[in-house]
Amino acid sequence: MRIAIIAPPYPLEEIPSPPLGVTYVASAFQAAGAEVKIFDYIVSAYTKENLQKQLESFRPDAVGATSVTMNFYEAQKILRDVKDYDPEIVTMMGGPHVSFTAIETLKQYPEIDLIAIGEGEDTIAELTPVLKQKSKWRDIRGIAFRVGDEIVVTGKRDFITDIDRIHSPARYLLPISRYRALGFPVSIITGRGCPYSCIFCLGRKMVGSKVRKRKSNLVLDEIEEIIGYGFERINIADDLFTADKERVREICKGIKERSLKFPWSAFARVDTVNQEIFDLMAQAGCDSVSFGVETGNPEMLKRIKKGINLEQVEAAVKMCQQAGMIAHESFIIGLPGETKETLEESDRFAKSTKAIYGYHFLAPFPGTTVWEKIKDYDLEILTDNWTLYDANDAIVKTSSLLPQEMREFGARYDKEMQDDWDKMFKRYQDGTGSTEDTMHIEGHWRMNLTYQILKDDLIEKCGLIEPASFQGTKDSALQELCRKIISCTNADSKVVINTITDFAGRGYLNADITEKGCQWSWA
């Protein structure tokens, strides 16, 4: 059985980590005896022609895709292209969006044969041996599929109690050099489950209310594996990492005992931290912690069932900063009952804490309490166009606040950030900027160039250096590669030369020199 797993396009500007869900799914199919490949279209361009080449090369029996709400359409269209190529290929989809829209999705999109609902590892173990035997699908819990005009939902599968038996994510199936070039942190989760009831979050419903923790030594093994791939930065993505103090001590101690030197960050709830834990994290290499604050209005915190108060936020930020780490707060624009006054409260509170902070707009995803019980809240959802569920625009309104008013508030924050950037850029141009200013400006240019190189497959397009165009050496071939990329981008030549030279020096790019020329490719 050959299974192809699709990582559908996702905006690089949204700073995606190497896709964790995709690699867990790939690992589960491998454990079930399948041969697996990941077709990654996050850090490479998606075209129907590229898909066809990969399908012809691998000849999969089934193709699965995962998606969140905002890139559901991209994933669905890819599966449609798979069916166009070969209608006999079984097409599957999983992830949070389709887990809560399974029936509607199967009714609207005939190119999707099967949907895996919720936590997928045990479902995959049972499904893989019978994937080509549709008559046996009814016996497998946790899936939905079509039989004629009927939609069959086989019932809820229990959550996996012992998550230590879940195989490590198969990150080695990803185009690792591309992700290393991108430079974003690699996410890791140390446990599953969330006992909290935030009305805008899918966590509790996707992974259950009971917290299931992985053994510390397994977390440390995975960290070592990630570092072994050459990744430089890790983010612990579960909000409840800091809740179990003894486990944090074990992991931080293990990082030191294994002599693991790497920068890392973490998410944390403000009601689960103390100074000792922050100090231990900082000593083990953690340099920043992100807190979901959501609003500076106490009543709204209660309304959204966040389960924290502003005093806890202030205390957590101070402790984080005292430990020498960066504190980051995130806020949501457009929560139920939002008014101009509550937004101003959030802004005043954010500024008062002296933390780095940012805003995003409420995206009421299918499956969240606010989506399912919208009539219970002072909120109206204005669209079900899933591409707009990226938290970058207002797609709701309240009785006191129109979308445009929400956008105006967001634009004011954006202007403050842009003004700071313009001042930094002027210092850079004047030669009066600090080393940090230079790193920010040139790092920004490099990142934009990297986005273009990855999204437009520029190494593939520019990578063949004809014999007449270089002197037969790797260095001269590299110079010609830089020249070709300069010619097809708007990037500064210095930025291109520095970036491409660094990629080659770090081993992200390979040079194959033959009598036909030099072929550059991703390692």
Q: What is the pLDDT of residue 410?
A: 98
CATH classification of the domain holding 495: 1.10.10
Range of the structural domain that residue 22 is part of: 2-153
Q: Is 362 helix (H, G, I), strand (E, B) or coil?
A: coil
DSSP label at residue 159: P
Which residues make Cβ contacts (< 8 Å) with residue 409, sequence separation at least 6? 333, 340, 343, 347, 359
Predicted local confidence at residue 419, as pLDDT: 97
What is the predicted pLDDT for the residue at 196?
95
CA-derived radius of gyration, the chain = 24
Give me the residue label for tokens 């389960």.
307
pLDDT along the chain (523 residues), means of 10: 97 95 98 98 97 98 96 98 98 97 98 97 98 96 96 96 97 98 97 96 92 97 98 95 96 98 98 98 98 98 98 98 98 98 98 97 97 96 97 98 98 97 96 95 96 97 96 96 95 96 97 96 97
- CATH at 13: 3.40.50.280
- Give the residue ranges of DSSP H helices in 435-508: 435-455, 458-462, 474-487, 493-505
Helix (H) or strand (E) holding 233: none
DSSP-assigned letter for residue 292: E
Q: CA 19 to CA 9: how far, in whole Å?
A: 11
Cβ neighbour number for residue 176 with a 10 Å cutoff? 19
Q: Is 473 in the same domain as 399?
A: no
| Residue 366: both structure tokens together | 């299918």
What pLDDT score was predicted for residue 490?
84
The packing angle between helices 403-430 and 435-455, to 10°, is 120
Three-state secondary structure of 191-225: EECCCCCCCCCCHHHHHCCCCEECCHHHHHHHHHH
Same domain, 425 and 440: no
Residue carrying structure tokens 């009785």: 399
Q: Extract the tokens encoding 407.
A: 């956008």
Structure-block tokens of residue 416: 């403050």
Instruction: Select from 430, 459, 489 the last residue of a domain.
Output: 430
**40 and 138: one domain?**
yes
Question: 212 CB contacts (<8 Å, ≥6 apart)?
Answer: 159, 160, 161, 162, 163, 191, 192, 193
In angstroms, the CA 295 to CA 398 distance is 15
The answer to whether residues 81 and 227 belong to one domain is no
Is the domain of 393 the same as that of 449?
A: no
Q: Is residue 175 part of a domain?
A: no
DSSP tag of 396: E
pLDDT of residue 239: 87
Cα-based distances in Å from 228 to 224, 233, 505: 6, 12, 18
Q: How far apart, in whole angstroms, are the C-alpha atoms of residue 121 and residue 126?
A: 9
**Which one of 387, 407, 430 terminates a domain?**
430
Please provide the distance, in angstroms rounded to a whole number, between the alpha carbons at the two ends of the chain: 27
314/354 same-domain check:
yes
**pLDDT tens-digit series, residues 228-277:** 999 999 999 998 999 999 999 999 999 999 999 999 999 999 999 999 99
Same domain, 117 and 221: no
Q: Are strands 517-522 and 464-465 parallel, antiparallel or unpaired?
A: antiparallel
> pLDDT tens digit string along 68-93?
999 999 999 999 999 999 999 999 99
CA distances 158 to 96, 113, 205, Å, are 16, 23, 12
* Amino acid present at 233: R
Structural domain contains residue 506? yes
Asked if 341 and 211 sit in the same domain, the reply is yes
Residue 66, in any domain of the structure: yes
* Angstrom distance (rounded) from CA 184 to CA 347: 28
Whether residue 174 is contained in a domain is answered as: no
- Total residues belonging to the chain: 523
Residues whose CB falls within 8 Å of the CB of residue 251, separated by 6 or more in sequence, listed in order: 190, 216, 219, 220, 284
Number of domains in the chain: 3
Exposure of 249 in the CB half-sphere (CA atoms within 13 A): 6
Whether 179 is covered by a domain: the verdict is no
Last residue of a domain, one of 131, 153, 175: 153
180 belongs to a structural domain? no
Closest C-alpha among 446, 488, 417, 441 to residue 183? 446
> pLDDT tens for residues 137-181?
999 999 999 999 999 999 999 999 999 999 999 999 999 999 999
Do 226 and 286 share a domain, yes or no? yes
My answer on whether 114 and 17 are in the same domain is yes
Q: b/e for 228-240, b at 16 or more Cβ within 10 A?
A: eeebebbbbbbbb
Co-location of 318 and 449 in the same domain: no
| pLDDT value for 464 | 97
Nearest CA among 308, 331, 287, 314 for reference residue 243: 308
* Residue 176 covered by a domain: no
Q: What is the CATH number of the domain that holds 398?
A: 3.20.20.70
Establish if 104 belongs to a structural domain: yes
How many whole angstroms separate alpha carbon 327 and alpha carbon 319?
Answer: 9
Which DSSP state fits 431?
A: T
Q: What are phi and psi of 62, to 5 degrees?
A: -145, 150
Residues 144 and 249 in one domain: no
